[in-house]
Amino acid sequence: MPEGFGEDFIRQCSTCAATFPHAHEVLTELARRGYLLHILTNGFRDSQHRKLEASRLAPFFTEVITTDCAGCAKPDAAMFAHALQRTGASPAESLMIGDSLEADVLGAQRAGLDAVYFNPTRERHHVTVQYEISDLRQLLEWL
């Protein structure tokens, strides 16, 4: 692999502005309803902030909690504990929404948080989840 390829790849990927359908609409409505939104990601701080800026999603999120700032990664319960401590939230008032069954959903459930599995391709699985959606607008129906 050519020298610097990995860094260049991460830098290029972090400039992508694509979002899932209805992302801005749903985030706007959640903010209007008074929800505090945070990102909990296994990505790196710099690339996550570039992605958020490129996609015009940054204004919706109060905290961006990354693996490098937490010192651990999802699905480790310590990552979720760090996020709760940093945001001042409790598990009872928090909801994890993620597209990874293992890292996001099962990790959150093990840490005592409710979780929504965002499964836009409707991938079949045999995992018991609390909530599952395939379209972001479904969040607005029951939140």
d(CA 7, CA 109): 33
pLDDT, average across residues 36-53: 90
Structure tokens belonging to residue 92: 């009872």
Indicate the range of 7-11, 125-129, 139-143 predicted with least confidence: 7-11
Any domain includes 119: yes
pTM to 2 decimal places: 0.84
Report percent pLDDT > 90 for the chain.
76
**CATH number, position 94:** 3.40.50.1000
Any domain includes 16: no
Any domain includes 121: yes
Any domain includes 10: no
d(CA 104, CA 94): 13
Any domain includes 5: no
Any domain includes 13: no
Determine whether 17 is exposed, middle or buried from the number of CB atoms within 10 Å of its CB (0-12, 13-18, 19+). exposed
What confidence score (pLDDT) does residue 11 get?
44
Comparing 76 with 15, the larger pLDDT belongs to 76
Any domain includes 30: yes
How many structural domains does the chain have? 1
Question: What SS3 class is residue 10?
Answer: helix
* C-alpha dist (Å) from residue 118 to 37, 38, 87, 129, 134: 16, 16, 22, 11, 6
Q: What range defines the domain where residue 69 resides?
A: 21-142
Any domain includes 116: yes
82-128 per-position pLDDT tens digit: 999 999 999 999 999 999 999 999 999 999 999 999 999 999 999 99
